Amino acid sequence: MKLLVVIKCNPYMHSKTGELIPSKFLLILLIVAIALGICLRFLALDHKLYWHDEVYTSFRAAGFTSQEINRAIFTDQITSPQSILKFQELKPNSSALDTIFSLAIEDPQHPPLYYLASRLWMQIFGSSTVSMRSLAALISLIGLPLIYGLAWELFKSRTIALIAVIFLVLSPFDVLFAQIARQYSLLCVISLASSLCFLRAARIDSKHSWIIYSLVSVIGLYTHPFFGFTLVGHGTYLLILKLTYLKLDQDSLPIKRYLQAIALAALIYLPWICVMVFNYQRVSATTNWVTGAADWLFYIRTWLLSFTCLYFDLDWGFDNVWTYVPRLLIFILMVAGIYLIYRRTERQTFIFILTAIVVPFALLLLPDLILGGRRSTVTRYLIGSYAGLQLAIAYLVGITLQHRQIVGQILGRSLIVLLAACSIASCIVSNSTDTWWTNIPSYFNGITAKIVNSKPAPLLITDAENGINLADIISISHLLSDRPKLLLLSHSQLPKLPDIFSDYMVFRPSSQLRQAIGDKNLESIPDTGGELWRLKLRDNRLVFPA
């Protein structure tokens, strides 16, 4: 007896083969949604600032280490923004090994697959913002046939599968991360691919299908370590079936095949496991920002924002209640979808959806509860849970849309149009801005660059002591004109400044540099989040001696 997933569907319209019949309305909506989704992904690729993490993507892919860039640009010499942008281009005489080396010694928590793909992309299409982001945008489109296949594998309904495609192609989260030169669009795609391969392997239970699943798992692990949460979810699904469904032929549960596939994937991934283990201190140092404490209200609000940004990504401030009202309604729809799956499908289907959502989230939440921190509040870390949530709402809308009664059909059409409209509106607003919530710690880089560019002959000063200024000064340089100049300090002492500039500004000074300058000599510039300061000088000297 194989693991078969079937759907109880007596109250709904079916073809002679038992499939749900997609309506003309749905097919038209699908075509429009795909066209819009492609436009939303590609038409504004260069509109948002090229932020901190993307800068790291470029110079890792190019073969540089941050240490050598620090030495090269923080020289206490006045330079132009354009001169430091060369570190966003391929390093001369470098190879893919330089990319791997850069990650291994400085960013071992990031496996090299996406960066190697980005390097190849740079070699073919160049290193411009549009070029670097277009790779992620193209990868994101691969998810459309994958979510269709996954929905079909679970529900055997073309209608539900097409609705899942519509929601994915218009999803504000997926569109947003399709426009970011990072590995997260690939992580979304490979999470879908692995779940589809897993279900097919469990159903067919052939050696060939499990090998494919294992190889897809390798790609996922070399994309991001947190892909492992998805694999744990698959194993949890099989374990629950074994423990709770004693009426099933236990020999038909492919647990052994699953473990063999995971063992093979782990073996191939072992070299990078060794890299992370041997360089664990670096992993800890570069991820300690998620260990900060937070109260439960912060957790709850952030979880709500993270889970519902799949359909709605507008906000009126973190502390504004109206930010959460529409999101709460969407969350209720998600819960309703899960409940309907529980009531109307085979238990195997419900357990798969439940484990796909809960396990990745729980594996982030448990360390937060035990060790403290806020790993589970980082939206991109929750990617493993998102497919299950998208399928839950697709199922809810699908069975409502296909109800025999006209009231049900009207409700279904209203839901799909309303959710699609929320997604489109969110994407349009996001695409019209130069920064978004994903751009922390670079959120104010855009306004910083505008202010600096507005001056006739400004000098922008910053130092290397902060630790994050390297990537952000390069991020700002992408936006600066030819007029501004940079003074990048290797230490926290302000040298004598030449009297040839109209304005002297300091970007995100370290505590050491602020102490050396003196707070009285710094005037905060409004609307920059306290990151851009005007330096008070008289006769080319500090007004108040430090």
294 with 241, same domain? yes
| Reported pTM | 0.92
384 with 476, same domain? no
Tell me how far apart the alpha carbons of residues 452 and 505 are, in angstroms, rounded to a whole number: 8
CA dihedral 391, 395, 397, 399 (to 10 degrees): 170
409 with 526, same domain? no
Q: Is residue 371 part of a domain?
A: yes
DSSP string, 357-425: HHHHHHHHHHHHHHH---GGG-GGGGHHHHHHHHHHHHHHHHHHHTBSSHHHHHHHHHHHHHHHHHHHH
275 with 376, same domain? yes
CA angle 155, 161, 166 (to 5 degrees): 150
- Could you list the pLDDT tens digit for every one of the 546 residues in the chain? 344 443 333 333 333 334 546 688 999 999 999 999 999 999 989 999 999 999 999 999 999 999 999 999 999 999 999 999 999 999 999 999 999 999 999 999 999 999 999 999 999 999 999 999 999 999 999 999 999 999 999 999 999 999 999 999 999 999 999 999 999 999 999 999 999 999 999 999 999 999 999 999 999 999 999 999 999 999 999 999 988 865 555 556 789 999 999 999 999 999 999 999 999 999 988 888 888 878 899 999 999 999 999 999 998 988 899 999 999 999 999 999 999 999 999 999 999 999 999 999 999 999 999 998 999 999 999 999 999 999 999 999 999 988 878 888 899 999 999 999 999 999 999 999 999 999 999 999 999 999 999 999 999 999 998 888 999 999 999 999 999 999 999 988 888 898 899 999 999 999 999 998 988 899 999 999 999 999 988 766 777 665
Q: Is residue 380 part of a domain?
A: yes
Out of 437, 465, 482, pick the residue that ends a domain: 437
148 with 283, same domain? yes
344 with 460, same domain? no
Q: Is residue 110 part of a domain?
A: no
R_g (Cα) of the chain, nearest Å: 26
pLDDT at 76: 94
Amino acid identity of residue 180, one-letter, is I
Amino acid identity of residue 467, one-letter, is G
Q: Is residue 363 part of a domain?
A: yes
pLDDT at 17: 33
**224's tokens:** 């991001």
415 with 493, same domain? no
Given the DSSP bridges, would you call strands 503-507 and 522-524 parallel, antiparallel or unpaired? unpaired
**216's tokens:** 């897809």
CB contact at 8 A, 2 and 252: yes
Q: Is residue 479 part of a domain?
A: yes
393 with 291, same domain? yes
pLDDT at 541: 72
Out of 398, 415, 437, pick the residue that ends a domain: 437
Q: Is residue 496 part of a domain?
A: yes
394 with 452, same domain? no
For residue 490, what are the domain limits?
445-542
Sign of the CA dihedral with 476 first, then 478, 481, and 482 last: positive
Number of domains in the chain: 2
Out of 384, 419, 437, pick the residue that ends a domain: 437
181 with 323, same domain? yes
pLDDT at 14: 37
320 with 357, same domain? yes
